[in-house]
Structure 1
Amino acid sequence: MSEFWVYFQIGLHHVLDVHAYDHVLFLTALVIPFTVKDWKRILLSVTFFTLGHTTALLLSVYEIMTFKVNIVEFLIPITILITALFNLVTIRKTNRKESVNLVFLITLFFGVIHGLGFSNYFKTILGGATNSKLVPLLEFALGIEAAQIAVVLVVLLLAYSMQTFFKLSKRDWILVGSAFVVGVVLPMILENEIWNQY
């Protein structure tokens, strides 16, 4: 049981690490357009992200999929930027049901990219262990998912507070929140090491 908590807490702290906030930024951008009453849509979005995330961890840890770390580290902030810009472009649409399936598929793909980013970290934790990798991976993934739920709840609480107590319209909340995410993620993209390689 203690080993479960070790990997669970590593996953939890890895998402909530103040020095590695890309995961939190993506979840924030993903949830900004919604309120608590949209809980089914939020649950599906986060579930698709989780599926992609966990699948990438699994494929990478068992060395079924290989990738260049610098490419993944560049793509992660790109996924955040795309998600925030999507919020801004579709801000006037009150009904987004026509694009639900496409959004879920893109979220699944973005989950794969973020999972690949976590997989390097997870492989260093496992070290050269040749025994079961599946159980620690699932424990690690559960920690990540618990942290994700916490982030989603905080964003929803913030949205509720802004719209209820500060009388910010839903449109303005999406505009301000998404613009904030864009402002934070743009320097991450522009300062990425990939620009020095090409």
Structure 2
Amino acid sequence: MLFLKHILLLSILSISLYSHELKENYLQVDYNQTTEILNINLEVETRLLQQMYTLMDDNKNEIVSHKELRNHKQTLLDYVCDHISFYSKNQPLSLKDSNVTIHRNDDQTYMQVNKSFQGVSLHDLEVKYDLFFELEDTHKLFIHLNDNKGDFVLSKNLQYYKFSSSSMSQLDRLIVFVEEGIVHILDGLDHLLFILMLLIPVIALRSSYIQLLKIITVFSLAHSITLFISGFGLYTPNISFVESFIALSIFIVAALNFFKLYSHVNYKIVFFFGLMHGFGFANVLTVGQVSDTTSFLVALFGFNIGVEFGQIFVILLYLIPLHFIRDYQYKDKVIKVVTFATALISVVWFLQRIGVA
């Protein structure tokens, strides 16, 4: 039991580190082959910029407002320019005098950097990128090139991309987004904890793994539905509301498990909560727009498949220790500790996401 207490203590100490935020920047590149005009549109989420530049807090209220961000656009641009570089024929394309705007996308603030260049050969265009990697290992840059020519993702482990004038195959695009879906689910601790809470009733009641398969299938079906609904722009709820609700869903299922109300973790509640988690997954694709319908469908389908693959991988990992817990004499105590820690973490997330903590 001392080991379990240590787990609980570590959970409490780490809860503030995992408040879910979008961790992606977006680069859209438009190129006219005839005129050789290149247009660069970079969307940078400002969350980490606000944390770094406390001097932007002009009124010293410990909150960097939309207006304060606008007042310090040059400072922000200078930092961005230090961490993203474009080259054509090995000559730098400077972003120093770019047009900069600050805008909101649902509940998240972005800095938009836009600039056009003439006489650029797309075949010779390169980008080097390391923005935010020193602050957040899991940060990404989504790259989309017009006319189906390419989609790519840069990360801390892959910071360079060379553009091509050839169109990207839909199979290559599918692979890119399948990989990103896998990474996204593995990086989303809130979704991982929710899946764990769905497994607890099966272990506690010693149900068959067929029952587990049914529960996970219902959850997958639900979040796939809303992922496609949001991806197609049919309906996109407020991001802050979705993320707050996801934290609340984790707390509710954890509480039901803590009080041994396992029968209440049924298909209806799993389907309903799965719908909200799907909107959370869709956040990744709502800022970077893929205009071509076929390419967008491939990206959306690939991302969803990646999420499912990642989810299956996580479940298999969970089942290894959970299988042994089924017959452990202190099984109920283990479940109590795990569900209590999860409920506590989800409460802190909820408070963070509604702006209280």
- TM-score normalized with structure 1 length: 0.83
Give the conservation status (yes or no) of the 8 Å contact 1:8–1:142.
yes
Deviations 1:116-139 (A, max 9, x none): 0111212234x2423223222121
Which residue of the partner structure matches residue 257 of structure 2? 87
Matches within 5 A, 1:167-178: 167-178=328-339
Encode CA deviations 1:45-67: one digit per residue, 9 max, x unaligned: 11111111010011111121131
Return the letter of the residue paired with 1:30: L
- Relative to its length, the structure with more helix (as a share) is 1
Structure having the higher strand fraction is: 2
Query: CA RMSD for the aligned pairs?
Result: 2.2
Query: Max radius of gyration: which structure?
Result: 2
How far apart are the structure 1 equivalents of 2:321 and 2:285? 31
Match of 1:65 in 2: 235
Secondary structure of the equivalent of 1:32?
A: helix
User: Given the alignment of the two structures, is residue 191 of structure 1 paired with residue 342 of structure 2, yes or no?
Assistant: no
Q: Which amino acid aligns with 1:54?
A: S
Identify which of structures 1 and 2 has the higher relative contact order when contacts are C-alpha pairs closer than 8 Å and 6+ apart. Answer: 1
Q: Distance in 2 between matches of 1:120 and 1:45?
A: 24
Equivalent of 1:109, from 272, 281, 297? Answer: 272
Task: Indicate the residue corresponding to 1:29 in structure 2.
Answer: 197
Partner residue in 1 for 2:139: none
- Offset, 1:25: 0.8
Aligned AA (1:15) = I
Contact 1:28 1:151 (C-alpha < 8 Å) held by counterparts = no
Equivalent AA in structure 2 for residue 29 of structure 1: M
Structure 2: runs of 5 or more not aligned:
1-170
Give 1:180 deviation, angstroms: 2.2
Q: Which runs of 4+ in 1 moved over 4 A?
A: none
For the Cα contact (< 8 Å) 1:12–1:144, is it kept in 2?
Answer: yes
Query: Is the Cα contact below 8 Å between 1:70 and 1:194 reproduced in 2?
Result: no
Whether the aligned pair in 1 keeps the contact of 2:190 and 2:246 (CA below 8 Å) is yes
Q: Cα distance, 1:168 vs. partner?
A: 4.2
Q: Given the alignment of the two structures, is residue 130 of structure 1 paired with residue 300 of structure 2, yes or no? A: no
Q: For 2:278 and 2:324, how far apart are their aligned partners in 1? A: 31
C-alpha distance 169-176 of structure 1, shift in aligned 2 (>3 A): same
Could you tell me how far apart the structure 2 residues matched to 1:113 and 1:194 are?
A: 19
Percent identical among aligned pairs is 28
**For residue 57 of structure 2, what is the aligned residue in structure 1?**
none
- State how far apart, in whole Å, the 1-side matches of 2:332 and 2:355 are: 35
1:150-161 equivalence runs, <5 A:
150-161=313-324
Q: Where in structure 2 are the equivalents of 1:16-55 lying within 5 Å?
A: 16-17=186-187, 20-35=188-203, 38-55=208-225
**Residue 118 of structure 1: aligned partner:** 281
CA distance in 2, matches of 1:190, 1:131: 38
Which amino acid in the other structure matches residue 196 of structure 2? T
Alpha carbons 1:33, 1:174 under 8 Å: kept: no
Which residue does the alignment assign to 2:311? Answer: 148
Relative to the length of structure 2, the TM-score reads 0.48
Moved more, 129-138 or 7-16: 129-138
* Count of aligned residue pairs for this structure pair: 184
Asked whether the equivalents of residues 177 and 299 of structure 2 are also in contact (C-alpha less than 8 Å), the reply is yes
